Chains A and B, each alone.
Chain A
Amino acid sequence: MNDSGSKATISSTGESWDLVLSPKIGWFDFRLKELWRYRDLIGLFVRRDFVSVYKQTILGPLWFLIQPLLTTLIFTVIFGRVAKIPTDGVPPVLFYLAGVTAWTYFAACLNKTSNTFVGNANIFGKVYFPRLTIPVAVVISNLIAFGIQFLMFLGFLAWYALGKDGGISPNAWILATPLLVLQMALLGLGCGFIVSSLTTKYRDLTQLVGFGVQLWMYLSPVVYPASQLSEKWRTVMAFNPMAPIIEVFRYAFLGSGDFNGVHWAISAAMTLLILVVGVTLFTRVEKNFMDTV
Chain B
Amino acid sequence: MPRPVIRVENLSKQYRLGTISHRTLTKDAQRWWASLRGHEDPNAQLSSDFVGDSAKPRSTSNDSDRFLALDDVSFDVLEGEVLGVVGGNGAGKSTLLKILSRVTTPTRGTVKIRGRVASLLEVGTGFHPELTGRENIFLNGAILGMSNAETRAKFDEIIDFSGIDAFVDTPVKRYSSGMYVRLAFAVAAHLDPEILIVDEVLAVGDEAFRRKCMGKMQDVAQGGRTVLFVSHNMPTIRRLCSRGILMERGRVAMCGSAAEVTERYHQSLESSVQNRNGLAAGVLFDEPEAAFEDGCAITGVRMFDEQGQPKSTIKTWDWVRFKIDFRSERDIERGSVVFRVATRDGVALSLTSTTPDCSVPCHIREGEQSADCIYLRWPFSEGDYVIGAGLAITGVQMIGWQESLCEIKTDEQDVYQSGLAPSSSRYLVATEVEWQVPSVSK
Chain A positions near chain B (C-beta within 8 angstroms):
1, 4, 9, 11, 15-27, 38, 40-41, 43-45, 47-48, 51-52, 55-56, 122-129, 201-202, 280, 284, 287-288, 290-292
CB contacts (< 8 Å) of A280 on chain B: these are: 36
Query: Top 8 A-B pairs ranked by shortest CB distance?
Result: A128-B102, A41-B142, A17-B112, A1-B116, A21-B111, A19-B113, A22-B110, A40-B148
Interface residues of B in 148-207 (CB under 8 A from A): 148, 171
The distance in angstroms between the C-alpha atoms of A4 and B116, with both chains bound, is 8
A287 CB contact (under 8 Å) in B104, B125, B145: B104
Interface residues of B in 261-303 (CB under 8 A from A): none
The distance in angstroms between the C-alpha atoms of A55 and B142, with both chains bound, is 22
A24 CB contact (under 8 Å) in B20, B38, B117, B139: B38
CB contacts (< 8 Å) of A11 on chain B: these are: 7, 112
Interface residues of B in 7-44 (CB under 8 A from A): 7, 15-16, 20-21, 35-36, 38, 40-41
Contact present for A48 and B139 (CB under 8 Å): yes
Mark each residue of chain B from 29 to 68: 1 if its CB lies under 8 Å from any CB of chain A, else 0. Answer: 0000001101011000000000000000000000000000
A124 CB contact (under 8 Å) in B15, B40, B100, B103: B103
| Nearest A-chain residue to B28, judged by Cβ | A201
Range class of the B interface residue count: 35 or more
The minimal Cβ–Cβ distance linking B50 to chain A, given in whole angstroms, is: 13
| Nearest A-chain residue to B138, judged by Cβ | A44
The minimal Cβ–Cβ distance linking B195 to chain A, given in whole angstroms, is: 10
| Nearest A-chain residue to B104, judged by Cβ | A290
CB contacts (< 8 Å) of A51 on chain B: these are: 130-131, 135
CB contacts (< 8 Å) of B102 on chain A: these are: 21, 128
The distance in angstroms between the C-alpha atoms of A124 and B103, with both chains bound, is 7
Query: In the complex, which of the residues B15, B35, B119, B139 has the most CB atoms of chain A within 10 Å of its own CB atom?
Result: B139
Q: Is B122 among interface residues, defined by CB-CB distance under 8 A?
A: yes
CB contacts (< 8 Å) of B142 on chain A: these are: 38, 40-41, 44, 129
The minimal Cβ–Cβ distance linking A276 to chain B, given in whole angstroms, is: 12
Q: Is B78 among interface residues, defined by CB-CB distance under 8 A?
A: no
Contact present for B119 and A127 (CB under 8 Å): yes
Mark each residue of chain B from 81 to 109: 1 if its CB lies under 8 Å from any CB of chain A, else 0. Answer: 00000000000000000111111111111
CB contacts (< 8 Å) of A284 on chain B: these are: 35-36
Interface residues of B in 304-352 (CB under 8 A from A): none
Interface residues of B in 373-412 (CB under 8 A from A): none
The distance in angstroms between the C-alpha atoms of A56 and B130, with both chains bound, is 9
Given contacts A38-B145, A52-B128, list 18 more A-B pairs with CB under 8 A.
A1-B117, A20-B113, A21-B106, A21-B110, A21-B113, A22-B111, A25-B105, A40-B148, A44-B135, A45-B139, A47-B135, A48-B128, A48-B131, A123-B143, A124-B103, A126-B122, A202-B21, A284-B36
Contact present for B38 and A27 (CB under 8 Å): yes
A291 CB contact (under 8 Å) in B15, B101, B115, B138: B15
CB contacts (< 8 Å) of B20 on chain A: these are: 201, 291-292
A/B interface sample: 24 pairs, CB < 8 A: A17-B114, A19-B113, A21-B111, A22-B106, A22-B109, A22-B110, A23-B40, A23-B109, A24-B40, A27-B38, A41-B139, A44-B139, A44-B148, A52-B131, A56-B130, A123-B125, A124-B103, A126-B103, A126-B125, A127-B101, A127-B103, A127-B119, A128-B102, A291-B16
